[in-house]
Structure 1
């Protein structure tokens, strides 16, 4: 699913109006009807007080049109105009006149704190104050109104975006943003729904179809995309009847030190479970019995060193190499990595301590093959690209880094983001149970195993991240968040594959917006 920028939202409005021969007021009416239908299906005429707060721009016009439909269907509606400016948009004024035609209770004008209404915890708040065009902080009395909403603990529904939330930067004052329980977004989701600094302002979100021009949607190039089941079905490669293990490549997992062989077991097992034809593990001598016992399906090659990786030599021709899990940062290992990178031409997936080594020895980055995949957790990412001011600064630095070295970067988190060729691919799967030791090792193995089967590095990355999260989503239904461990993610990969072809239980795509960072 595409994620439009602020400029593209405005362009989409304009082109839809022109090509469909409608007015901006007609498009606003569509949006208001969709919000009304969403509420009506859920409320079924219940007489809970609904407080609709409208700004004086087009978002406020949406709110006024919504209030009119609610009133006409007999709901208990109180409408307010948040008078934060003397300027009114044309569509706001049109809908202001229309609402006066259906009720004698005209919208209440709010100009200061003393005029704030009482709101009960069982009431409903509809926030239609500011839209995507906000470019400056709200006035102090409007911030106080937002805090009044929050203090009431009433269910808060935001129209398009929580008021006070910018689309392209992080608010300086969290009290200057509405904290929404639910946001109904027009056309496409907003990137701010997925970033740790801004996602907290809406617990859940949903996209409403307001009939935008489909040709514009289909042909517009975007900088950000949301990755879900429809996108992954398009890239999935079914197996040929006459395929054999050689058809699906040979994954080599290099890693491990004394006491950290479990990471190699997890990565190797994940590569096999996701479909690699063959998997070998290159490990210190101390891990030989562990690997042969824990994973009989894998082959084992040992380093000449007993407890660490210090001399990377093997006589196989792997399709892809997953490197770095549990490897440590010993001087011998650093020297071995540099020598290996100078000679290596095989595609790489790099994780964990190998990333820490690259961060300390930036010259090694120039030795990486084109489209090498790096999968850092937040601290590892910081060591790679430097500290950042906020999430937008982080993404900017991540893009600069990937372009400089021609890499693919996986920013692991609640909504894992893959950065590739100046675009962001936001994953839609995953849950808080994944915040557990070893889940990152599993991801390394999954991506490695997909490349082994013939997926190109970019597709393998976004598909691997998706399967990783979807497997965990299915697993927690049986296991629960707290009890999920990394091995469970591997165990449920088969279910994640089968889920690609299952029919959805609900018509709307499932959203996971309350997830903690993965390990």
Structure 2
């Protein structure tokens, strides 16, 4: 699924109107009907109580007026509050005229803002993607009033005051919604951490925008979903053998951090690797042989740290990082690996911290290496970001400059590619915010990277999605708070099976 700019979204609207021979008011009706259906499925008239629809002077306000009319016809007790304005859009004026007389309408001036009772359902239709500057004056006052009311706010398209394509200025007024209902495709602003307190939970509802325009729209930003992944993971051939799916080498663990090696190894095996060899410090040999009997194990000459690199010829991919620490000997292993590896690499955790502390090593990264940092690890590789948009630019530039894939972990993890593409993930939940889940991702990515049937991009996309999907499957049984990294590997196979393409 593509992510489009606000300008492209307006172009999609215009293309739909032209190609279908409909009016802009017809498309507005379609969008408001989708919103109203969503609303009615979640709250009955009795559960909603009084519904306050707050409308701005443009087409977002027009959406709100249509929604107010449809909710009224559905038996809801609706009243409309209008932001004072000298001018209104044509579709706003049309739908103001169509509003039933039984629906109370009032202008809410800053000096006379009525109290909004806590728990009131407020439909925020003040401003949408057309906004290009922070709110001021009456609009800012109304937003502040709504935010202090403790109302249940649902925003149409975007929370009013939120900029669709640009960093939000500090302290600028933005509606704090519980839900944001956008149309056809999500907006980038909905995916960024700094906007979470405004957006709440979001959902994109289809409204039949032009398939031709969406297919041809030029973008470098996508969502990772089942549609994007269709056909990327082939079914396993009947006459498969261990060598079909690759032999992976995992370099992991140090004294006190052998659990990371166990988690990554288990994940790699559940990710479908044909053969797995794990090299750990000598102190971890018995641990790995006992905890992960399916894996072969190499004991490093050093008792507590990784200090040597084995012969890499047998392997199809190498993973380094989980629990390795930052000893000088381990740094030397990393440098040797970067200089000599003939196969794809997956680097995480302390491998990234070593790179950050020794940035000259970044120039040695082999092409198509996959790095999986969390935001703090990524900052050590680059620089502190001014805001989420700046961080995404740093991410894109880093992947291009070092010809690598970088998966910036978090809610809506973002994968940047060597050719400048960005892919935001749609799976996962807050249960992943616990120790060890990154090690599980490393193991899964290593398994898929060792599979010679998969391209570097496909392996990274599939690992990103399946890791989050495994967490979603696990949380059904454990709850998000009860989700542990150790539970995740058991759901990876199911997550991958959902994506497997069977030939007909």
TM-score for both structures, normalised by structure 1: 0.91
Distance 1:16 1:368 in 2: 46
Contact 1:320 1:347 in 2 (8 A): yes
Per-residue deviation, residues 289-312 of structure 1 (Å, max 9, x unmatched)? 221122111112233322222221
Distance 1:98 1:254 in 2: 68
Question: Is 1:149 aligned with 2:146?
Answer: yes
Partner of 2:96: 96
Question: Is 1:137 aligned with 2:138?
Answer: no
The 5 Å alignment of 1:166-315 reads: 166-174=163-171, 176-314=173-311
Distance 1:314 1:293 in 2: 24
Contact 2:234 2:500 in 1 (8 A): no
Call closer, same or farther: CA 1:379–1:105 in 2, change over 3 Å.
Answer: closer
Distance 1:122 1:315 in 2: 62
Distance 1:361 1:446 in 2: 27
Contact 2:162 2:168 in 1 (8 A): yes
Deviates more, 1:39-48 or 1:408-417: 39-48
Deviating 4+ runs (over 4 angstroms) = 498-502
Per-residue deviation, residues 257-276 of structure 1 (Å, max 9, x unmatched)? 22222212211111111100
Q: Report the CA distance between 1:177 and its aligned residue.
A: 0.6
Distance 1:13 1:348 in 2: 44
Partner of 2:482: 483
Per-residue deviation, residues 206-251 of structure 1 (Å, max 9, x unmatched)? 2122221111112323222222233334322210111011101001
Contact 1:370 1:407 in 2 (8 A): yes
Contact 2:134 2:172 in 1 (8 A): no
Contact 2:271 2:444 in 1 (8 A): yes
Partner of 2:420: 422
Q: 2:391 pairs with 374, 390, 394, which one?
A: 394
Distance 2:307 2:62 in 1: 67
Call closer, same or farther: CA 1:413–1:42 in 2, change over 3 Å.
Answer: closer
Question: Is 1:369 aligned with 2:366?
Answer: yes
Deviates more, 1:146-155 or 1:378-387: 146-155
Contact 1:170 1:198 in 2 (8 A): no
The 5 Å alignment of 1:339-354 reads: 339-354=336-351
Distance 1:329 1:24 in 2: 60
Distance 1:366 1:324 in 2: 18
Q: Report the CA distance between 1:501 and its aligned residue.
A: 7.8
Partner of 2:314: 317
Contact 1:257 1:326 in 2 (8 A): yes
Distance 2:326 2:209 in 1: 53
Contact 2:312 2:341 in 1 (8 A): no
Partner of 2:26: 26
Distance 1:272 1:41 in 2: 42
Call closer, same or farther: CA 1:117–1:279 in 2, change over 3 Å.
Answer: same
Distance 2:363 2:172 in 1: 45
Q: Report the CA distance between 1:33 and its aligned residue.
A: 2.0
Per-residue deviation, residues 378-412 of structure 1 (Å, max 9, x unmatched)? 21111011101111110011111111111111111
Distance 2:36 2:96 in 1: 17
The 5 Å alignment of 1:324-473 reads: 324-420=321-417, 421-454=419-452, 455-473=454-472
Distance 1:398 1:472 in 2: 25
Q: Report the CA distance between 1:340 and its aligned residue.
A: 2.6
Contact 2:248 2:318 in 1 (8 A): yes
Question: Is 1:62 aligned with 2:66?
Answer: no
Distance 2:35 2:103 in 1: 21
SS of equivalent to 1:71: helix
Deviates more, 1:147-156 or 1:406-415: 147-156
The 5 Å alignment of 1:113-132 reads: 114-132=111-129
TM-score for both structures, normalised by structure 2: 0.94
Q: Report the CA distance between 1:434 and its aligned residue.
A: 1.4
Partner of 2:7: 7
Distance 1:408 1:453 in 2: 17
Contact 2:245 2:450 in 1 (8 A): yes
Partner of 1:508: none
Q: Report the CA distance between 1:56 and its aligned residue.
A: 0.6
Partner of 2:49: 48
Call closer, same or farther: CA 1:307–1:41 in 2, change over 3 Å.
Answer: closer
Per-residue deviation, residues 455-478 of structure 1 (Å, max 9, x unmatched)? 222211121121111111121222
Distance 2:33 2:480 in 1: 38
Distance 1:119 1:270 in 2: 51
Instruction: Specify every segment of 5 or more residues in structure 2 that has no aligned partner in the other structure, as ranges.
Output: none
